[in-house]
Amino acid sequence: MKESEISQYWNDKAEALKTDPSATMKDVILRGMEVEAIGSRLKADDELLDVGGGNAYAGLLWAEQCKNVLVTDFSEKMVEYGRVAITESRRDNINTKQASVLDLSVYARQYSAVTCVRCLINLTSQEEQLAGVEQLASALKPGGRLFLIEGLDETFAAMNSARQAMQLPAISLDWHNRLLPKDKLEAKLTETLTIEERVDFGEYYFLSRIMHPLLVAPEEPTFQGRCNQIARDVWRAGLAKGRFADMSTLVLYVCTKPRHDGA
Ligand SMILES: C[S@@+](CC[C@H](N)C(=O)[O-])C[C@H]1O[C@@H](n2cnc3c(N)ncnc32)[C@H](O)[C@@H]1O
């Protein structure tokens, strides 16, 4: 896969879906859970850089919870529609600009919080993905926090094994996605940061990707179906917290940069 094709893909998505939350993820319930998981950890005085932030849907919600937000994305069309959404919101503590996760040098050590949600999985090699982690960490002030949500190889495979054990077909990865191996990602994060929390969405994956299709077969499950809404409520209530972590394709890493990082 080539960077230019991936860029075209996201420009096309932005043109088609404009400011809609589904422009960057079809499962908008899971998307809402990501926004909640990060939003509940932001602080009122946080200055936030959202990298690969798409059409600023999440950034606008986080702007209600922190001091200010800069959303960046490498797709010019995502930035264009992000600007439309920001103008329509009339908020004055959020802006959007074009930038690649592979070069955040102009933002070095400027932010108390950096978010990056399903952006690194769009890079074309593992080397670039790990270089992206370095860039994200570099944008943090000493003591700042990185909120990184990415998909992992192992948890995606475990979710598919569970499906196959129930005679459901494996879900295939979108052509423009490359998941990260957990050990390599964590090794890279811990070169400069401390991992404080790993937040999973495992019970949602179990209920939405295994129970839901079994319940509605031979119909296809819909992303906004009742079962997925209940799955979100189960996740929110923490009823089975952590028990399905091994099949949570997406994981939120909450990391801190040391107060004295010697840089
Ligand atoms: C799956 S979407 C996620 C968007 C948003 N973070 C969200 O929560 O829905 C991936 C986003 O990453 C952007 N992207 C892909 N490669 C990028 C890169 N090298 N630098 C910055 N953004 C990138 C895409 O344009 C797209 O908006």
**What is the Cα–Cα distance from 149 to 23, expressed in whole angstroms?**
17
* Residue from 6, 7, 9, 10 to probe ligand 1 pocket by mutation (most atoms less than 8 Å from CB): 10
**Cα of 101 to ligand 1 centre, how many Å?**
9
How confident is the model over 34-86, as pLDDT tens digits?
A: 999 999 999 999 999 999 999 999 999 999 999 999 999 999 999 999 999 99
- Let me know: does 98 contact 73? Beta carbons within 8 Å: yes
How confident is the model over 209-259, as pLDDT tens digits?
A: 999 999 999 999 999 999 999 999 999 999 999 999 999 999 999 999 999
**What is the Cα–Cα distance from 211 to 61, expressed in whole angstroms?**
30
Residue of the CA atom closest to atom 5 of ligand 1: 53
What stretches of 51-176 show up as alpha helix (H) in DSSP? Answer: 57-62, 76-89, 126-138, 153-165
- Let me know: does 49 contact 115? Beta carbons within 8 Å: yes
Q: How many CB atoms lie within 10 A of CB 118?
A: 18
**Cα of 7 to ligand 1 centre, how many Å?**
9
Parse the chain into domains and list their residue ranges. Answer: 3-151+175-200+248-256
CATH class of 3-151+175-200+248-256: alpha beta
Q: What pTM, to 2 d.p., does this model score? A: 0.97
Q: Provide the pairing of β-strand 194-200 with 47-51.
A: unpaired
Q: Beta strands of 13-153 (E only): which ranges?
A: 47-51, 68-73, 94-98, 111-117, 140-151
